[in-house]
Structure 1
Amino acid sequence: MEIMYTAHASATGGGRNEGHSKTDDGKLDVKLSSPKEMGGPGGEGTNPEQLFATGYAACYLGALRAAAGKDHVKLPDDTKVTADVGVGKRDDGQGLGLKIGLTAYVPGYDAEKVKAWMDAAHIICPYSHATRGNVEVSLTVGE
């Protein structure tokens, strides 16, 4: 694979538990805090699941636009993708795992057409490619 871009980030302190993470260029610089639901304090910081959800939603939206573009369709500016990233105990008892739901809201297009673009986007998107086969990802057309 020919690499087009490499992102660089590091985490310090307690990692997801009262840690800190930032990119080498300083464009992203966040305090980390585990959510109360996972036994953490909640509070001001974000968590890795939120960061993953924002990245996946943005990447998948780009892939959705590319999929529609293959049909010579420019999606409306108010098209939206929501990523729900759940974290929980794996069924095998060997740690934690993720479960992801992607919902696309595409005003003005019927659900069948949007679902076809979503299926195509799921092949195009590198996040979908990275999770395929080891993370459950559901695709839903929003209303």
Structure 2
Amino acid sequence: MGTDYTAQVTSRGGRDGFVRSSDGQLDLKVGTPKEGEKEGTNPEQLFAAAYSTCFHSALKSVAASKKISTENSEVTAKVTLHKDGDSYHLSVQMEVTVPGLDQDQTLKLAEAAHQVCPYSKATRNNIEVELQARTAVTNK
């Protein structure tokens, strides 16, 4: 297996610290997630950003192979942190919108992307991922 890229990010202070990538492109204050507070980003937001981006790339790749346009498509990841007794676990709702496709077509495309997305593969059978298809809202 070949290697295309390795990301390196260092955390200092955990949920109440900082994260910084080796190339300096990512340099953020991190805070404990609390609704309405602005103490910096949190691991759930970072995971949602990474997962939605990777999933969107997989969606575009699958769509291109089927000659389906993904212009103005969107993928929103909602990552929820659940308390489970003394531990925690995550769940994800992945909302996919592809203008020009109905909900059924969008869901089928999302399901195909879910099979090839590296983040989906990494989390499969570890966290619940719910795929949701949305229809695009057109401005008249």
TM-score, normalization by structure 2: 0.90
Alignment correspondent of 2:79: 85
- Cα deviation for residue 74 of structure 1 reads 2.7
- CA separation in 1, counterparts of 2:70 and 2:92? 23
Alignment correspondent of 1:137: 129
Conserved 8 A contact 2:106-2:134 = no
Range moving further from structure 2, 26-35 or 109-118: 109-118
Alignment correspondent of 1:117: 109
Alignment correspondent of 1:30: 28
1:78-124 superposed Cα distances (whole Å, 9 cap, x missing partner): 1100000000123xx35110010000011111122111111110011
Alignment correspondent of 2:43: 48
- Cα deviation for residue 42 of structure 1 reads 3.2
| Long gaps (5+) in structure 1 | none
Please say if 1:60 is aligned against 2:55. Answer: yes
Paired-residue identity, %: 41
Range moving further from structure 2, 131-140 or 110-119: 110-119
What amino acid does structure 2 have at the position aligned with 1:70?
Answer: S
- CA separation in 1, counterparts of 2:86 and 2:39? 29
Conserved 8 A contact 1:79-1:105 = yes
CA-based RMSD of the aligned residues comes to: 1.5
- Cα deviation for residue 30 of structure 1 reads 0.3
What amino acid does structure 1 have at the position aligned with 2:73?
Answer: T
- CA separation in 1, counterparts of 2:49 and 2:34? 20
Alignment correspondent of 2:92: 100
Conserved 8 A contact 1:31-1:45 = yes
Alignment correspondent of 1:7: 7
Aligned length: 135
| Long gaps (5+) in structure 2 | 136-140
- CA separation in 1, counterparts of 2:30 and 2:92? 21
**1:107 partner SS:** coil
Give the 4+ runs in structure 1 shifted more than 6 A: none
- CA separation in 2, counterparts of 1:100 and 1:115? 16
- CA separation in 1, counterparts of 2:88 and 2:33? 15
